[in-house]
Each structure stands twice: as C-alpha cells, then as structure tokens.
Amino acid sequence: MRFMIIIKASQDSEAGVMPSQELLTAMGNYNEELVKAGIMLAGEGLHPSSKGARIKFSGDKRTVIDGPFIETKELIAGFWLWKVKSKEEAIEWVKRCPNPMPGTEAEIEIRQVFEAEDFGAEFTPELREQEQLVWEQAKKN
C-alpha cells in the first residue's frame, strides 16, 4: 500500500523561514531510516504558497489565482510518498518523525494513494496499458 504523508504548513513555513541545521540533520537521519526500511519512495519540502498558484475550474473556464493563500492550515509544506503494509504502519512511522515545525504545533496527514485495482472494471485493460506506458516514459524523464 502506498501512502502520501502530508506535512501541513505553518505561519513560519509560509513566511519562508528555513529549517535550522538541527532540524535538517534530524530529518536527514529520519529519511535515512525510511530508506533503509524500504519505505520511502519520494519526499520533498515545498516553497511557500506565495511562490505558487492555483487554477480554479468552472466548466470550461480556467482562472489562475496567484499565491499566497490565506488559510495556512489548509496548505502543504512538504510530503513523503511511502510504501508500507498498512495505515497503522504509516502511523507508527509518522509518530517517530521529528517535529517538522519546532516551536509550534505541527500536523502531518496520512492519505492512501489509489492503486489500479481500486478503480474496478472502469479501469479497462486499455487504460491500464496507457497508464503503464505513461509511467515508463515518466521514469525516463
């Protein structure tokens, strides 16, 4: 099972405050543990929303909204993509994580990633083949 582990933004992360050397070291060590355990597939920190944009869809119309975005608790400061046996295992790993926002409350969300079999018969053999080809090409990039 794959899970996206979402690190919620804080006022500091949205203000562009960079992590301390101590936190970078602790996170580096934690990431090493995840890799050694065969769990981590990807993981990155994100720039503040002031450097981002959102695209609002309304029928055929697209509206671009430049950051920053007001509601910090709804924003993402970083993520991991993990492969674990269960949500419970992901929870146990997150509980071992250094506090990503020292000096303040932090929140990390765990969300399961859809797998091909989750889509049922609607995900036809042709669509599965198309997805496989797309991912093979993406890996080459």
What CATH number corresponds to the domain at position 107?
Answer: 3.30.70.1060
Mean pLDDT of 28-50: 97
Residue 114 has pLDDT above 90, yes or no: yes
- C-beta separation of 33 from 80 below 8 A: no
> In a 3-state reduction of DSSP, which class is residue 102?
coil
Dump pLDDT digits (tens) for 21-34: 999 999 999 999 99
Dump pLDDT digits (tens) for 14-23: 999 999 999 9
H-type helices in the chain, by residue range? Answer: 11-14, 21-36, 87-95, 125-140
* pTM, 2 dp: 0.89
Domains: count for the chain = 1
Q: Which domain range does residue 85 map to? A: 2-140
Dump pLDDT digits (tens) for 50-102: 999 999 999 999 999 999 998 777 899 999 999 999 999 999 999 999 999 99
Q: Who contacts 118 (Cβ-Cβ below 8 Å, separation ≥6)?
A: none
> In a 3-state reduction of DSSP, which class is residue 67?
coil
